[in-house]
Amino acid sequence: MFSWYVFHTKKGWAAFLGKSNLVRAAVLPVDVPLPDFMHRLKDHNIVLIDNDNHSISLVNKIRGYYEGEIITDWEVGLDLPRSSDYARKVLYYVHTIPYGQTQTYSTVARNTSRPKAARAVGRIMGNNPIPLIIPCHRVIAKNGWGGFTAPGGVYTKKSMILWEQHHLSRPN
């Protein structure tokens, strides 16, 4: 059975819908009171993860991401039951875009065998059920940032990309 795992990060409350080693949905961190955050989660059991609970690998990785860790493998499976075949292909492809790198919507379309489907890629990114783990923020327009449907919009997208590039460039 899928459950919402709710936890706090440096950027606010976040959650993912998962079971075992499988993720179906995620909510990027939002700096709101917990009761306000919980209203976003529907239709599944909710598990609240304490700040000192480090037993769930994906929670640790998401918290680590927002603390500046470079995450190269989320080590989870993706469950995309409501996605079309092409959307799944795009989402799995975007899942492989490396930390700190970006690709344009048209590049993603070309690399998923539909070179004229840049707008479709944009729609798929806008409906991405698992942001961060499927890093839709790394897909940009050829002449700018493109859109972003998460709270904060394009500002959040730009901040995430610059955050990653900053952490890649710092000395070890």
The catalytic site residues sit at 136
Any alpha helices (H) in the chain, and if so which ranges? 34-38, 57-65, 85-94, 105-111, 118-126, 153-169
User: How far apart, in whole angstroms, are the C-alpha atoms of residue 111 and residue 125?
Assistant: 15
Which residue's structure tokens are 């459950």?
Answer: 3
Retrieve residue 157's tokens. Answer: 């997208």
Q: Which residues of 123-155 are buried (b: 16+ CB within 10 A; e: fewer)?
A: ebbeebbbbbbbbbbbbbeeeebbbbebeeebe
What does R_g of the chain's alpha carbons equal in angstroms? 16
